[in-house]
Amino acid sequence: MLSKVSQAGKGELAFAGSLFLISLVVYWDTQRLLIPDNNVAVSPRTFPYIVATVLLLASIGVALQVFRGRAATPEGVEPSEPFQRADFKTMGIIVGSIGLHVFLLERTGYIISAAISFWGVAYAFGVRRMLRLGLIAFIFATVVYYSFTSFLDIQLPKWIIEDFISGIGGSNG
C-alpha cells in the first residue's frame, strides 16, 4: 500500500504520523495531570483531552486521504507541476539554530543566544552578508530584550550584556 503513495503523499504521512504521536503524548500527559480537590464543574483534563482527540482525528483523516490517493497540492503550485523535495539542509540549519538558542539561553543570556538564533535562521534563508547580518541580529535581540524587560516586565535570562543594558536603561531585571 505504501509503495503506491506518491513522494508528496509520503511527506503527508510523516505529518500525519507526527500529529498522531503528539496526540498520544497529550493523552499521556493529560492522564498524569493532578486534579485539585476543589474541582467542581470542569476538570482541568477536559481541554487537553479535546485537543488530543482533535489531533488524533486529524492525523487519521490525513492518513486516510493519502491512502485514497488524494495527496494535497501545496498552495501556489499547479497539480501538474512535479513534486519538489524538501530542503533538508535549510531545515537542519534552522532546527540547529533554534536548538542552540535553547541550549545557550541560560548559559549566555537572552541577547547572545537570540542573536545567534536569528543569525542562523537568516543564514538558512540565504542572507550572506555575515557581519551585517550579525549586527542586525544583535540589535534585534537587544531591542526584544529591552522591550520585554522594560515595557512588559517579563524577565529574560541575563548575562553580562543584559546586566549592562539593565544598568543603562534602569530596568528592574
Tens digit of each residue's pLDDT (9 = 90 or more) over 157-166: 877 776 676 6
Lowest mean pLDDT among 11-15, 89-93, 165-169: 165-169
Q: Where are the domains of the chain?
A: 2-67, 88-169
Answer whether residue 2 shows pLDDT above 60: no
Residue 20: its pLDDT value, please? 94
State the average pLDDT for the chain: 82
| Cα 123 to Cα 108: distance, rounded to the nearest angstrom | 21
DSSP state of 161: H
